[in-house]
Structure formats: structure tokens, C-alpha cells
Amino acid sequence: MAEDPEEGMLSWDETVFRDEHVFEIDYVPEVFRHRESQLQTLQYALRPAVRGNRPLNAMVRGPPGTGKTTAVQKLFGELGAQTGVRTVRVNCQHDSTRYAVFSRIFEAIFDYEPPSSGISFKKLFNQVTDKLVEREEVLVVALDDVNYLFYENEASDTLYSLLRAHETHAGAKVGVILVSSDLDLNVIEELDGRVQSVFRPEEAYFPVYDRTEIASILGDRVKAGFRDGAVSTELLDRVSEFTADAGDLRVGIDLLRRAGLHAEMRASPVVEEEDVDAVSEEAKHLHLARRLDGLTENERALMEVVADHDGERAGDVYEVFSERTDLGYTRYTEIVNKLDQLDLIRAEYESLEGRGRSRVLSLEHDPGAVRERL
């Protein structure tokens, strides 16, 4: 008897997923394992807010994909349910100036954006703080990816305004949680003395998950996201190993989703090793893609120029860059430093024959992989 070629295949409305949303970036997992001590530290810092007092400030550090944002989202979810506490999480990769941070806070408090005609920072600040005092609300602000405020030289001013709000507005109660994934950045040391003197945070460190922890977390995700039997234990082990090598849980979650989509494309009701292999290259470059995504037009332009002039002197690269953007050398150097801090490029002094010492710019990633994602 001839085999039915369609047997075991998926029709259009069939899927390997039970709930694909489980693999999206904005999904907050129901079960949040292996972070008990970190959550405790943060709860301790925030507890005074529930009683209507100013909370302690906190500092959350750890490599990418270790659950820092999720911890804040979980706690804010609980705190936000309490009357009298206003929580705001600002993604500093997108809002990387003091003005932008306060615009987000304004929006959270008033439920609409500040006037687009633009008002002065002072007005914005006064409206926010007046409202807090009037409503007797405690404000807790999480500056997520705060490293971006440092790259833009905005960190000290932003923190100064937040931490000293009560000096200009008696009764204002503001607490701050800083979240940084740049372990090379010494946050406290980089702040101005005037901010350091008022910023003594509780610290919570988020280390990378080991392989067993990764397997248990991804196991939860598979259960919630895939249909029964679509992902075998062996396949999950393989994905966990790959994720542990990358050190970032996000890579594993992304890999599961892509592999699921790939299985569907083959019309297979089961995700197989070949699906994982086919998509692992893309998942590996997840970090790179995320970092490139957050760059401004000029920063992208410089990435393109460095990709074309990999390993050349900073002065020579500037010649090409300035033709494309009209930016001056000072701004150029600032962008070079930011891309260097983001580990997108390396800017190192080298002795060049007959030319003394000079900075040389090279890409941290494969130029082809960079160009594809710009």
C-alpha cells in the first residue's frame, strides 16, 4: 500500500505550539526559579514603600539574560497592586537622557505623554513631583540597562534629580533601582561625588545560570509553550547545553521558538535536532542583533564604516565617517567610546611603525554577521 505523503504532517491551522507568546520578549514567566535570594534583597529594600515611606535604593547587576528585568517586573507587579505606590520601569537603551527618563515617569503618573511641543526639564520635574506629593504616592523607578545613561553622560544628573527630589519638594518619596548588565562599568565610582554621597544602594548580583538551572527553566517554558510530545527531553538537553555555552537564557528561549517555527515549516508535528541546527546560527547572534537594534543612525553608520575598514586607524576611519555624517571629531570619539563599551568594536592603542601610537578600530564580531544585521 502506498504511504500517505500527508500522514503526520501539519495542516495550516495546526501547530507545534500551545502558546507561542511564551517565547516572546515581553512575556513574564509565571514561575521564576533560582532567584530567591536576589528577590529577598530587593523586597527588603522596597518594603518601606508599602508602608508609605521612602524605600532603600538598590543596585542590580549581572550579565545579560540572567533574570534582572524579570525580577523587577515581578516585584513591580506585586508592588503596583498596593495603593500608594507608583512603579515605573524605564528602558534606558531607548530613553537615555534625563529628560527622556522623566518623560516616561510623567507618562506613568499622568497616563498621557508630556506635551510634544516640549516643556523645560524643570517644568516636567515639578509637575511629576507636585503630583506625587499631592497624591501622597511613593515613586519607585527602575532604570533598566542604566549603563546606557552612563554612555551618554546622563547618569549623574538623572540620579541627582531623582534622589534629591525631596529637597525641593518636601514630602516627595522616591526610590531608585539601577539595573546594569555591563560588568566592566563601576556604577558607583562613575557617579559624581554629589550623587555618590546620597546613593548607598542595597546590592543584588545575578550570576549566570548553570546548565541544570537552564534546563529546569527551559523545561517550564517548553511545557507552557509547546504541545505535549513536540519537544523531547533529549532535544531540551541539547538546547540547554547550547544555552549554557552562550551564558544567556534568552538565547535558549529564542532557539526554542525558532526551532518550533522551523519544524512547522517542514510540516513536522515534532521539533527535531535538524530544526535546532538549522536556526542555531541566528540564535547565537541574538546579542549582536539586540545591541545593533538599539543604536542611533550615526552609530549604525560608524558600525558600517568600521566593518568596511576593520583594523584601520581611528583617524583614517574618521575621514570616511565624516564624509557620511558631517559629525565633528569630538562627537565621533564619543560614539567610538560607546561602541567600545558595548563590545561592538575594540578601540586599542597600537604602535604603528613610523607613526607613533595611535588608536586602531576593529569589530568584535564577524563583519558579515554585523552587516547582515545593521
Ligand X SMILES: Nc1ncnc2c1ncn2[C@@H]1O[C@H](COP(=O)(O)OP(=O)(O)OP(=O)(O)O)[C@@H](O)[C@H]1O
Q: In the complex with ligand X, which residue's Cβ is closer, 55 or 65? A: 65
Between 68 and 338, CB nearer to ligand X:
68
User: Toward ligand X, which CB reaches closer, 222 or 314?
Assistant: 222
Q: How far apart are CA 133 and CA 125, in angstroms?
A: 12
| C-beta closer to ligand X: residue 68 or 173 | 68
Q: With the CA atoms of 89, 90, 92 and 96 taken in that order, what torsion angle do they form, in degrees rounded to the nearest 10?
A: -160
Identify the burial level of 154 via C-beta atoms within 10 angstroms of its C-beta, where 0-12 means exposed, 13-18 middle and 19 or more buried: buried
Residue whose C-beta lies closest to ligand X: 67
Question: What are phi and psi for residue 227, nearest 5 degrees?
Answer: -70, 155
Strands 345-352 and 356-363: antiparallel
Work out how close the CB of 36 gets to ligand X at its nearest, in angstroms, rounded to a whole number: 10
Shortest CB 219 distance to ligand X, Å = 10
Cα–Cα distance between 326 and 54 in angstroms, integer?
47
Compare residues 36 and 111 and give the one whose CB is closer to ligand X. Answer: 36
The reply to whether 131 sits in an annotated binding site is: no
Q: How far is the CB of 25 from ligand X (least distance, A)?
A: 6
Q: Summarize as ranges the residues that interact with ligand X (CB under 6 A).
A: 29, 32-35, 62, 64-70, 145, 181, 206, 217, 249-250, 253
Chain Cα centroid distance, residue 343: 14
Q: Is 15 annotated as a binding residue?
A: no
In angstroms, what CA-CA distances link 240 with 70, 227, 251? 20, 19, 10
Q: Say if strands 202-205 and 173-180 run parallel, antiparallel, or are unpaired.
A: unpaired
Q: Is 221 annotated as a binding residue?
A: yes
Least gap, CB of 113 to ligand X (angstroms) = 24
- Cell for 309? 575598514
* 330 annotated as ligand-binding: no
Q: What is the nearest approach in angstroms of ligand X to the Cβ of residue 292?
A: 14
The verdict on whether residue 67 carries a ligand-binding annotation is yes
Binding site feature residues: 66-70, 209, 221
Binding site feature residues for ATP: 66-70, 209, 221
